[in-house]
Amino acid sequence: MSNVLKMEKQALIQQLLALGWSYRRIQKETGIPSYNDFEVRSVASFSSI
């Protein structure tokens, strides 16, 4: 497995964060494993730039 999320998942995370979803809810609803928590948060930080 790779530690980098595919572009489709990254776009989905950005859209869900824009809707006000929490990181934990995004992980639960999308099936992204908890070891990708850093990846979810880094997508969020880059989307705010």
pTM metric for this prediction? 0.66
Determine what percent of the chain is predicted with pLDDT higher than 90.
16
- In the chain, where are the structural domains located? 1-36
Determine what percent of the chain is predicted with pLDDT higher than 70.
63
Q: In this structure, what token pair is assigned to residue 39? A: 């990846």
- pLDDT band at 44; cut points 50, 70, 90: low
DSSP structural state of residue 20: T
Spatial contact of 2 and 29, defined as CB atoms under 8 Å apart: no
Sorted by sequence, the CB contacts under 8 Å of residue 36 that are 6+ apart come out as: 3, 5, 27
Spatial contact of 27 and 48, defined as CB atoms under 8 Å apart: no
Average pLDDT value for the chain: 78
Q: What is the pLDDT of residues 9-30, one digit of tens each?
A: 888 888 998 999 988 898 889 8
Amino acid at 32: I
